[in-house]
Every structure is written in structure tokens, then in C-alpha cells.
Amino acid sequence: MATDTATIYEAPAALLEELPVKACYVGPEAASRLATFLSERGVQRVLLVLDENTRTAGAHVLVPALESKNITITEFSYPAEIFEATDTEANKVSEAAAGMDAVIGLGAGTLSDLAKQAGTLNKIPCVLFPTAASMNGYTSGIVALKVRGLKRTQTCIPALGVFADPEVVSTAPQRMVAAGVADFLSKCSSNTDWQVSHHLRDVFFTDRPRKLVGDVQDRIFENAGAIGAGNPAAIGIAMEALLTSGFGMVIAGSSAPASGGEHLISHFIDMKHALEGIPNDLHGAQVGVATIYTLGLWEKILALKPDDIDVEACIAAQPTEAQIKEWVFEDWGDKVGAEVWPQWLEKQLDADGLRHEITLFKNRLSDIRKDLETDFRPPQKVSDCIAACGGPVTAEELYAPAEVFHHAKGRARYLRNRFTVLDLAAELGLS
Ligand SMILES: [Zn+2]
């Protein structure tokens, strides 16, 4: 078990050579390394994006480190991190960053996304000093911004450096850390979705993201109790897991290794939150409960035998296009529905397409099962780990309404053109 906070992770030089990120470090020297990194690149003026909570968590180590290198700091400060990253907020931060040499995000998901977007729009480096091991976006080239009420991921220039101090990160609320662990573990399902979409729909797949993550998943399972107890070194491992998972998305060129059907369920709740004001929960908290559900679907799918699958009966049981259209507009209304509907049309199959896909699945089932074993973990194992870290494992434990979560299990597949286990399970008549 992890006991001290020596350097926990440092991205190897060979990896950094092929990535846009040029430094990635988890350990006690994070603030001074960040300051040196900027100073060596001639940075003299920075915009520091933070809020009052993250100021308390990390400014006392970060600010003196920057000052010791004579870097001038201009703050862009929010009262508290309870808002959402929208394109309007990103534009405000971006305007403040004009004329700066770099932008620093001191915070978790929202503040990091705003800093990344401000760096991208101004074509200046962005570096991050995370305050919570709560999500895997620190090293990714993706920001989640709400545009006209619809939360969409869009590409950005990734942070040039990410420096995480375990002592700082471990001051975040336990629920945030558990959410980060759950977001990381969602890859047990999302990577499985991705690989099967390669088998069935010829989607590009590479196992490099999996290799990058290495053995950190095992260390997360081993250290779940210590993470739950707030041990900084163990929380540093959670941070390592999230950072390497972000690299995987950069290498894959999409969020596919870390975002499958379980993320669609979470997006469904977030969109209902935006449109109807229902409460929602932390991204990773929702994703974790959804992952336990989608791993349950995978468990049922992988237990099938080819002879169990009656292709024609499966096709006959599918809802009609008219029925699905009614559901989409019932869930989202005219305005958002008009943006959602084309997403579904891009991946929907007619009867012949379904016949081909289900038959292909049937014929390749033993190969698929073998391939998927690498990523798939039983839902109970993932649930036990999230619970040990202090996170929710049932819909009823989420701050979001349980009935919305349960409704999303059937309807979230219509939100996005990406093929996921939600589609495969529906095609096979499983829920
Ligand atoms: Zn996520």
C-alpha cells in the first residue's frame, strides 16, 4: 500500500515526444516544477484562473513558486466552483488572457476546461495545477462546454504541462476523488464499447491507450481503501490513473477509450439538468453508477451463446423510426430535439443493416469475448471499489433523481452517433 508522497508519476520522455503535453508530474514538487517549466519557456506574465475554493486548496503553494521565478500573476477569480463551463464563460476568460504569455488553471474540471479553452483561443500555452482527482480531462485535448443548452465535447489544444501535488489534491472533498476513480474505471466499459464497435462497425481501434494506463488500474483496486481514507499518496495514484487515461484520448484522437454508453447516461442527466433544472451530480459520480449498469449489460452480452440469438426476432423487436423520433422530441422538446435527432440518424440501421450486424456479432462472439476480457471487469468489482473510495453505486444515492437515471438507461443511446453497449444490448433485446 502507498504510504508516502515521493514522486508518484512522471510521464516518460519517449511518451512526451509524441504528445502535445511536454510535462506531466504527480508528486510533492509540483508547484516548483510548474514554475520552472514556465520560466524556462520565457513566460513572464500569466493569467491564473481559479475560484475561492481552489485558492484555499492550492494558491498557498502555487503563488510563491511562481513569484520565486519573477512571474507576474493576473487573477481571473470566481466566487466558488459551482457553475458550469459554457462558451460564454470561456470567451470571458479568453479575453482576460489576451496579451499574457500563458494561462494557468488552478482547479478541477470546470476551471481546467476554461483555462484550456482560453489557451487554445489565444494560442498561448495552458498549464494545469489540479486541485482534485475528480475527472480525466486534465491531459486530454477535449473540453466539455455547454453551447445553447447542449453539453458537447469539442477539441482544444491540450495543456502543455500538468503538475499535481498529492497534498493539495487530497484536500478535495472525498466525493470528488471517488468520482474521479469512477470516471477512470468507466474505461472497463467504454474501452469494451470501443473495441466491439471496431468489430461490428469498423471503427478505428488501437490498444495503445490501454497500454499507457498500464498497471495503474490494478493499483487503484488495491488502494481503494486508502483512497477512501484520504491518504495523499493513494489519491496521487488516482491522479496518475486519470492523467494517463487522458493521454489515451489524445492518442486515440477521440474520447472513445474513455467515453461509451455509461457517459451517454451521464450526459442525458446533465442535459435534463440544463433544460429542466433537475439536480445533477458530479460527472464521475453519475458515470460510476452508469458504469456499474453498463458492465451489467456487458456481463449479460458476454454470457450469450450464438444459438441463443434469434436474429429475426431481435429485428422484429426494434422500435420503429417514428417511435424513436417521438421519444427524442418527448425527451428534449423541439429545439434541442432538432439537434439530437440527426445524431441518432447517423448510426441507426435499417432491417438489413441490423441483420448484418447481429449476424456478425453472432459469428464473431467467441473472438469478441476473448478481446473484451482485457478491459471488462465484473460490475461487482467496480462497484466495491467505488464504494470503498466513498462514492455512490446506486441511482438512489445520486443527487440526481433516480427516475431520470433509470429513464436514461433506455433513452441515452439516441443522444449521440457513437455506437455503444446501449445500442448492442437494445439490438439483442437485453436491458
Ligand atoms: Zn468522464
State the SS3 of 356-400: HHHHHHHHHHHHHHHHHCCCCCCHHHHHHHHHHCCCCCCHHHCCC
Nearest to 92 by CA among 52, 63, 58, 122: 122
Q: Grid coordinates standing for 348?
A: 441507426
- CB proximity list for 308: less than 8 A, separation 6 or greater: none
Q: Which residues pair with 150 in a beta bridge?
A: 147
Which DSSP state fits 260?
Answer: S
SS3 label, residue 428: coil
Q: How far apart are CA 294 and CA 284, in angstroms?
A: 14
Give the helix/strand (H/E) hosting 153. Answer: strand 150-155
Cell readout for 175 is: 466525493
Ligand 1 centroid to Cα of residue 283, in Å, is 7
Angle, helices 174-185 vs 232-252, to 10°: value is: 40
Q: Are the C-beta atoms of 383 and 393 separated by less than 8 Å?
A: yes
Which residues have CB under 8 Å from 54's CB, separation 6+? 81, 106, 107, 108, 111, 131
Ligand 1 center from residue 183 Cα (angstroms): 5
Whole-angstrom distance, CA of residue 397 vs CA of residue 70: 48
d(CA 149, CA 185): 28
pLDDT at 256: 85
pLDDT of 213 reads 81
- What's the 259 CA to ligand 1 centre distance in angstroms? 6
Q: How far is the CA of 391 from the centre of ligand 1 (A)?
A: 15
Mean pLDDT by 10 residues, the chain (431 residues): 71 90 96 98 98 96 98 95 80 96 96 96 97 93 80 87 97 95 96 95 90 88 97 96 90 86 96 91 96 98 95 97 98 94 96 97 94 92 98 98 98 96 97 89
In the reported structure, the alpha carbon of residue 64 is separated from the centroid of ligand 1 by a whole-number distance in angstroms of: 32
Write down the pLDDT at residue 60. 97
User: Which pTM does this prediction carry?
Assistant: 0.91
Distance (Å) from CA 72 to ligand 1 centroid: 34
CA distances 216 to 128, 212, 230, 352, 411, Å, are: 21, 9, 18, 43, 33
Tell me how many helices (H) and strands (E) the chain has. 21, 9
Ligand 1: centre distance to CA 403 (Å):
22
CB 265 within 8 A of CB 161: no
Neighbours of ion ligand 1 (CB under 5 A): 183
State the residue for C-alpha cell 494560442: 123
Torsion of CA 336, 341, 342, 347, to 10 degrees: 140
Count of Cβ atoms closer than 10 Å to residue 403 Cβ: 10
- Cα-to-centroid distance, 303 and ligand 1 (Å): 27
Distance 277 CA to ligand 1 centre (A): 21
Q: CA 349 to CA 200: how far, in whole Å?
A: 12
Beta bridge partners of 106: 129
**pLDDT for res 3:** 46
| Residue 1 pLDDT | 43
Q: Are 22 and 38 in contact (CB under 8 A)?
A: no
- The per-residue pLDDT for 82 is 61
Report pLDDT for 25. Answer: 97
- Residue 45's beta-bridge partner residues? 72
Question: Using the 8-state DSSP alphabet, how is residue 158 labeled?
Answer: P
Residue 146: per-residue pLDDT: 82
Q: Which residues contact 338 (CB under 8 A, 6 or more apart)?
A: none
Give the whole-angstrom CA distance, residue 153 versus residue 416.
Answer: 11
Max CA-CA distance within the chain?
Answer: 71
Give the DSSP H or E segment for 103.
strand 102-107
Q: What is the pLDDT of residue 285?
A: 97
Q: How far is CA 309 from CA 28, 99, 312, 338, in A?
A: 55, 62, 9, 35
Please classify residue 222 by burial: count the beta carbons closer than 10 Å to its beta carbon, then call 0-12 exposed, 13-18 middle and 19+ buried.
Answer: middle
Measured in Å, residue 248 CA sits from the centre of ligand 1 at 13
Specify the fold of 208-427.
Answer: Dehydroquinate synthase-like, alpha domain (1.20.1090)
Question: Can you give the residue ranges of every domain in the chain?
Answer: 9-172, 208-427
CA of 325 to the centre of ligand 1 (A): 27
How far apart CA 2 and CA 265 sit, in angstroms, is 34
CATH number of 9-172: 3.40.50.1970
Q: Separation of 415 CA from ligand 1 center, angstroms? A: 16
In this structure, what C-alpha cell is assigned to residue 240? Answer: 496518475
β partners of residue 146: 86, 151
Best CA proximity match to 246, nearest among 276, 266, 216: 216
Collapsing DSSP to helix, strand or coil, 164 comes out as strand
Interval between CA 206 and ligand 1 midpoint (Å):
19
